[in-house]
Amino acid sequence: MTAVKMRGECSIQGGGAAYSRMQCAWAGAVLLLVIGTTSAQVFVTTPKIAGGAYHTLALSADGTVKAWGGNQYGELGNGNMTEQLTPQLIAGLSSVTAVSAGMLWSIALHSDGSLHAWGNNTFGQLGVGNTLHQSLPQLIPGLSNVAAVDAGRDHCLALLANGTVMAWGGGNNGQLGLGNTNDRYTPQLIPGLANVTAVAAGDYHSLALLSDGTVKAWGWGFLGQLGVGPVMLATTPQTIAGLSNVMAVSAGADHSLALIAGGTLKAWGANFHGQLGIGNTTNQHTPQSIPGLSTVTAVDANGNHTLAILTDGTVKAWGSGSRGQLGTGNLFHQSTPQVALGLSNVLAVAAGRRHSLALLGDGALKACGENDYGQLGLGNTTQQNAPQPILGFSLNGAVSYSLVIMVLSPAAVGITIPCNTEIGALGSAHYYFNVFSVDPLNASSPGTGAWYGLHATQADVFAWLDAGINGLTFAFGALGSSGGASASVAIPPALLAGLTVHGVSVALNPLTGVVADSNVASHTF
């Protein structure tokens, strides 16, 4: 349900895939084409905002987390069960790199690959070996090397750095993918599932995006949310036929979405409120293209509505609007994508059960929808039908990012990370792709090397790179022509051994479509 579940933000012509306008629209990207492997893969993502049923989480640039809204089971992590109408710091949580919100519970991923969870634990969704509710963050024992996590209604999926997936919590409809319908109180490895680059958890179903751009689904399928035809439920992962070139996946309560290379969307599953965006309210058991959308950069679904960011930084929403969660100024359901009012320069979106959030480029956070428990963070419990700013609260410097090592073909792996954005003449945005190539003279130290780009000096870009003792560590700065690290992730050297890196430096003018590129040196680790 979280806002960012990307397999890769950008690709360029000549690398076996056409350029796609994905996260490039707000942050640019770095692309490395790595030749000579078929298995190495790492997926690291940083959703900065997350919405549950009645609560909200936000991750700050310093690795701390704030929470607000309903707190019936301690899902705010503050040691009590009192709702909060404004953002409150969760004490004791640090070095957090991603957050996700389940129905009435929460989970945080740390930079060391560990997880803390808190809130409702009726089905063991906290992963701590029991069913006791927890009002303070609890470390999930025995779980490490987690690269991404997504919380469903009452179950959880954790993607490990080696491309496998662990699952736990409610399993009554096979949503854990373990071949049965049992609940599990501790993380369990999903058998036979490998080469995964992203996961998404719905109410009672789950999705996994594979490195080859295909998708597998499991769990309850009565409404079509598995995308594999009229299947009641599947207790093991099933391949969705005819779905390829997928860049991201998201799961609502009972519907699913796939972001396709090039910026189009496909949707399937429950459609009572038009949450599939295809112009009707008929459930769909196989993926259907959403008409009129061709420039989507990110998508997030929860409950019965869906949010999508476009390349121009605006947001479209569709599905249930009964509590104002679409941000269109009214309470109508919408079966086709509608413009959310007053949103521009949006970096990330998060759909709660019946509320929505948008992170803007200046760090501001806006919210709309249901607010019975203060989940909008506005200091009151008044429903909002259009996005409203959370006053006195900013996530400046906490821009969401993704790092992916993905198999592009049987002999190619790509790495993407966010880069700089500059505003050129006449207000046109120029998005640049900078490529890092390891210095052959320092091959034993993968963290050293040189950057190649069309818009920044080497000194500028070195500010974005940290040389880590455990391998390549990319440091991410705020938007602009030079960096200043705000977060970093490391690639273990074992994943780079024997790989040959070939780079291309690319600049795109989105108004004219002109692409300029230049080759850079290659290197074998």
Nearest partner of 486 among 501, 499, 473, 475, judged by Cα: 475
Residues with Cβ within 8 Å of 444's Cβ and at least 6 positions away in sequence, in order, are none
The proportion of the chain whose per-residue pLDDT surpasses 70, expressed as a percent, equals: 66
User: pLDDT at position 97, please?
Assistant: 81
User: pLDDT at position 295, please?
Assistant: 84
Residue burial 121-130, b: 16+ Cβ < 10 Å; e: rest:
bbbbbbbbee
Helix (H, G, I), strand (E, B) or coil at 131: coil
Q: Which amino acid is at 523?
A: H
User: pLDDT at position 510, please?
Assistant: 36
Residues with Cβ within 8 Å of 441's Cβ and at least 6 positions away in sequence, in order, are none
Architecture of domain 43-394: 7 Propeller (2.130)
Specify the domain boundaries for CATH 2.130.10.30 within the chain: 43-394
Residues with Cβ within 8 Å of 201's Cβ and at least 6 positions away in sequence, in order, are 1, 150, 151, 152, 153, 155, 156, 157, 175, 207, 251
Nearest partner of 161 among 45, 5, 1, 248, judged by Cα: 45
Residue 445: strand pairing partners: none
Query: How many other C-beta atoms can be found within 10 angstroms of the C-beta atom of residue 43?
Result: 25
377-398 mean pLDDT: 89
487-498 mean pLDDT: 41
206-231 mean pLDDT: 94
- How many Å apart are CA 273 and CA 277, to the nearest integer? 9
Per-residue model confidence as pLDDT tens digits over 281-291: 999 999 999 99
| Per-residue confidence band for 271, with pLDDT thresholds at 50, 70 and 90 | very high
* Lowest-confidence segment of 126-135, 140-149, 249-258, 263-272 by average pLDDT: 140-149
pLDDT at 449 over 90: no
Under 8 Å between Cβ of 193 and 237: yes
- DSSP state at residue 460: H
pLDDT at 422 over 90: no
| Per-residue confidence band for 47, with pLDDT thresholds at 50, 70 and 90 | low
Per-residue model confidence as pLDDT tens digits over 27-40: 222 222 222 222 32
* Average pLDDT value over all residues in the chain: 74
